[in-house]
Amino acid sequence: MRRTRCAGTLNPKRSPSPVRGPGSPAVARSTERNPRLTRCSVRIACSMAALVGLLLLEAPTVQAAAPILSSDDRALFQKALVAMDRTKWKRALDLTRRAEDPLLHTIAKWRWLSADDGLASWRQARDFHTGHSGWPFAEQRQALAERRMPANLPTSDVIDWFERFPPLTGPGQVRFAETLAAGGGDVDVTVEARDAWRSGDFQSAEIRPFLQLYGKYLSDEDHAARLDHLIWERQWGAALRQLRRVSADVQRRGTARIRRGRRSSGVDAAVARVPQALISNPGLVFERARWRRRSGMHERALELLSEPPGELGPRPDRWWFEVRVHARRLVNAERHADAYRLVSAYAGLDGVPGVEANWLAGWISLRFLGNNSSANRHFRKMRSAVTMPVSIGRAAYWTALSSEGDEESVRWLDEAAEYPATFYGQLATRCRERRVAVPPVPAGAVDMADWQSLPEVRAMLLLAEHGRHRLARSFARQLAGTAESLAEVTSLYRLLHVTGHTHLGLAMLRKATRSGLYVPGLAFPDDVYPSAFNAVEAEVEKALLLAVARQESAFQVGARSVANARGLMQVLPSTAKFVARRERMQYDQQKLSTDAAYNVSIGSRYLAGLLEDYDQSYPLALAAYNAGPGRVRRWLRRYGDPRHGEIAMLDWLELIPINETRNYVQRVLEGLAIYRSAVGDGITGQWEMPLTCPR
């Protein structure tokens, strides 16, 4: 029977209730509806009214439900997805063209045009991008359209296109300038051409035609700037070809940089040939410092990094990576003054490098050098540069620790405590002798039908239902950018949660937070796979298991990492086999990725063993769960054992040299506090993070 045309239906048994509790920061963002969503909602009266009623129920049980496809469409789509995965675009397009639901063909075109196999026409690229500019990977499709633009395209069409979509490629930038100049616009095409050449995106086949037209206008400085850009971006092949276009001295410098960067032979001779006037070039200094560090020549690398050039070039993040590695090595060697001098030289950087440099400089100054005023200056500078809740809580907490006087410390602790869903916000809350509470979900909501009617949402759900979670996540993040209010973020999350795609909802929330739409009360779901978490026999509190699964897999049963860790608890097959043998359980590798209860059972038993090994110290056990027990043993020998009072637990955590593990432990611990508030029984799970509070 032919089904009624509808954007899609959902049929959950029960719906998710918001995580409840008092105390969260006020967020001054609009809760009005997005007109784009409101207009779309009219199209989806089919079954959503019943669903919205169900969403008011408490104690949800999540049931997966994707937009409905006929059995024929489902079979076609599955075959088409396999063809897309194998880049057989013609077959995928042919298959989806036969489908009853036109969205399937749209998805196939989206993947084809985003991949650019070289066969798409200008009209195809233009039409799709114009109608779907809000779909993921828009920049790839726009660049494709720019490159397929016909030479004889009417001037008005060229101008209309670029006024709507400003050029992304070098050829596009020049084409727009040429068209404006031809129409009498006040544009210097040669200036635009030079700018495009210095840092524009050119494909190999585009370079010769460009140089034939504009090569005579390009200076030695333009060619040198392009070489510099290509080397910083690690486009080694293009950089080698660019060498022939620069002066002899710049060529020697570029050759030395490339050989250092690629760790090729003859690096010393290449550097020796660089003229003395060019030896202090930031790019060359960076490559030399990086090469020395990778070759184990740490002290010689420090000689170059300790006095950075006045201008670091376009990639300060690369410099900061090198500095951070050496700074932590110096701290490990108890050369704290040297570490501070190194890091503080980079505290003036903008963006993330500057934020991290100021925190590290402040921490070293406070905890190892005992200089509160210097530390406080760095932490305040960090606070003025951050906007994310985790970073605000961190900056405010450490500013409180370094502040002189009770009033000042209390003020900063209170600011950190405004973010109770973050690790440092929770520490600040406890320092103020308050209870960490689950943040409430803001009042007001947008009808989920408003979201469900959007093609992007239907595409996301279809891709997730068919196992293409990476592609589905790209839609979730993109959709987060279209939300204009907390109510819209809330309704989109609930839609994803109730359809069994909580992992997509959490990805969307993270992206929304970066846009200033912070809804922490949704970020800790406690109703996912309840039978799996309630049936655990290992002596591990449920709150901890939920916090680990949330951080490991975002509650995605089929999650699989690049390291081959699998399932909700991201257990390696080798670890699962070891645990199964130790616990006299049956080992089934396939069930790690398909059976939530089995995965949680294995993971909880492994975690219980780690907790026993580390005397129920959660941070140590979690660090071992993420990085391995061998590393934790090494760190305990290197930094001291916080269980025996040799070092404060907080400092031990911040000394963890692996960024991922350091972040992992803090994120799980903050989740633990929230889940205890939501599902804790008040009996199990009495461990708490030892406090470090202002004196």
Q: Is 25 helix (H, G, I), strand (E, B) or coil?
A: coil
Give one word for 691, left, alpha or beta, with left for phi > 0 and alpha for psi -120 to 50: beta
Sign of CA dihedral 594, 598, 601, 607: negative
How far, CA to CA in Å, does 58 sit from each of 62, 112, 579?
12, 43, 36
How far, CA to CA in Å, does 3 sit from each of 71, 189, 382?
11, 56, 57
- Helical H runs in 186-345? 189-199, 204-214, 220-232, 236-242, 248-262, 267-272, 282-294, 298-305, 316-332, 336-344
563 and 642 fall within a common domain: yes
The answer to whether residue 688 sits within a structural domain is no
The answer to whether residue 402 sits within a structural domain is no
Rounded-to-integer distance, Cα 446 and Cα 485, Å: 9
The CA-based diameter of the chain, rounded to the nearest angstrom, is: 82
The answer to whether residue 465 sits within a structural domain is yes
The answer on pLDDT for 420 being more than 90 is yes
309 compared with 342, residue with greater pLDDT: 342
Rounded-to-integer distance, Cα 136 and Cα 668, Å: 30
The answer on pLDDT for 691 being more than 80 is yes
| Domain hosting residue 131, numbered range | 71-212
The one catalytic residue among 552, 583, 646, 670: 552
The answer on pLDDT for 573 being more than 70 is yes
The answer to whether residue 28 sits within a structural domain is no
Catalytic annotation on 415? no
The answer on pLDDT for 36 being more than 60 is no
- Roughly what angle, to the nearest 10 degrees, separates helices 406-417 and 389-402? 170
How many other CB atoms are there within 10 angstroms of residue 50's CB atom?
A: 11
State the pLDDT at residue 185. 76
Query: How does DSSP assign 213-243, residue by residue?
Result: HHGGG--HHHHHHHHHHHHHTT-HHHHHHHG
237 and 208 fall within a common domain: no
Find all residues with CB under 8 Å of 614, minimum gap 6, and list them: 620, 621, 624, 632, 643
CATH number, position 674? 1.10.530.10
State the chain's mean pLDDT as an integer: 89
The answer to whether residue 593 sits within a structural domain is yes
The answer to whether residue 315 sits within a structural domain is no
Rounded-to-integer distance, Cα 107 and Cα 128, Å: 11
The answer on pLDDT for 509 being more than 80 is yes
Residues 694/401, Cβ–Cβ less than 8 Å:
yes
Residues 511/476, Cβ–Cβ less than 8 Å:
yes
pLDDT (tens digit per residue) in 383-393: 999 999 999 99
pLDDT band at 444 (very low <50, low <70, confident <90, very high): low
| Residues 587-612, mean pLDDT to the nearest whole number | 97
Q: Which two tokens stand for residue 317?
A: 């993040």
End residue of a domain, out of 276, 293, 310: 293
518 and 547 fall within a common domain: no
Residues 374/365, Cβ–Cβ less than 8 Å:
yes
HSE-CB for 430 with a 13 A CA cutoff? 15
| Residues 49-68, mean pLDDT to the nearest whole number | 41
pLDDT band at 42 (very low <50, low <70, confident <90, very high): very low
58 and 84 fall within a common domain: no
pLDDT (tens digit per residue) in 634-676: 999 999 999 999 999 999 999 999 999 999 999 999 999 999 9
pLDDT band at 28 (very low <50, low <70, confident <90, very high): very low
State the pLDDT at residue 508. 97
The pTM of the whole model exceeds 0.85: yes
Ranges assigned E (strand) in 15-85: none
Using alpha carbons only, what angle is made at residue 669 by residues 664 and 673, rounded to the nearest 5 degrees? 150
State the pLDDT at residue 445. 64
22 compared with 518, residue with greater pLDDT: 518
DSSP element (H, E) containing 57: none
Number of domains in the chain: 4
| Residues 94-107, mean pLDDT to the nearest whole number | 98
State the pLDDT at residue 19. 31
| Residues 82-94, mean pLDDT to the nearest whole number | 97
The answer to whether residue 602 sits within a structural domain is yes
pLDDT band at 682 (very low <50, low <70, confident <90, very high): low
Rounded-to-integer distance, Cα 403 and Cα 78, Å: 60
pLDDT band at 5 (very low <50, low <70, confident <90, very high): very low
| Residues 348-352, mean pLDDT to the nearest whole number | 96
591 and 518 fall within a common domain: no
pLDDT band at 683 (very low <50, low <70, confident <90, very high): low
570 and 658 fall within a common domain: yes
Residues 500/62, Cβ–Cβ less than 8 Å:
yes
Q: Which two tokens stand for residue 417?
A: 């405590």
188 and 115 fall within a common domain: yes
161 and 86 fall within a common domain: yes
pLDDT band at 362 (very low <50, low <70, confident <90, very high): very high
State the pLDDT at residue 438. 76
pLDDT (tens digit per residue) in 304-335: 999 999 899 999 999 999 999 999 999 999 99
In percent, the amount of the chain with pLDDT more than 90 equals 82
Q: Is 571 helix (H, G, I), strand (E, B) or coil?
A: strand
How far, CA to CA in Å, does 321 sit from each of 217, 257, 290, 626?
37, 18, 10, 22
65 compared with 154, residue with greater pLDDT: 154
Rounded-to-integer distance, Cα 669 and Cα 672, Å: 5
194 and 226 fall within a common domain: no
pLDDT band at 684 (very low <50, low <70, confident <90, very high): low
How many other CB atoms are there within 10 angstroms of residue 339's CB atom?
A: 25
Rounded-to-integer distance, Cα 540 and Cα 685, Å: 8
104 and 50 fall within a common domain: no
How far, CA to CA in Å, does 501 sit from each of 193, 473, 495, 497, 528?
47, 10, 9, 5, 10
Lowest mean pLDDT among 20-29, 190-199, 383-392, 574-583: 20-29
496 and 579 fall within a common domain: no
The answer on pLDDT for 365 being more than 60 is yes
Q: Can you tell me which residue has the tokens 């590393």?
A: 631
Residues 548/565, Cβ–Cβ less than 8 Å:
no
The answer to whether residue 115 sits within a structural domain is yes
The residue type at 256: A
Sequence length of the chain is 695
Rounded-to-integer distance, Cα 411 and Cα 435, Å: 18
| Residues 435-455, mean pLDDT to the nearest whole number | 80
SS3 annotation, 134-187:
CCCCHHHHHHHHHHHCCCCCCHHHHHHHHHHCCCCCHHHHHHHHHHHHHCCCCC
Alpha-carbon dihedral 159, 162, 163, 168, rounded to 10 degrees = -160
State the pLDDT at residue 219. 97
End residue of a domain, out of 188, 212, 236: 212
End residue of a domain, out of 522, 556, 584: 522
Q: Which two tokens stand for residue 642?
A: 């916080």
Sign of CA dihedral 178, 180, 184, 187: negative
| Residues 523-551, mean pLDDT to the nearest whole number | 93
57 and 116 fall within a common domain: no
Residues 454/448, Cβ–Cβ less than 8 Å:
no
State the pLDDT at residue 67. 59
pLDDT (tens digit per residue) in 154-167: 999 999 999 999 99
Residues 531/560, Cβ–Cβ less than 8 Å:
no
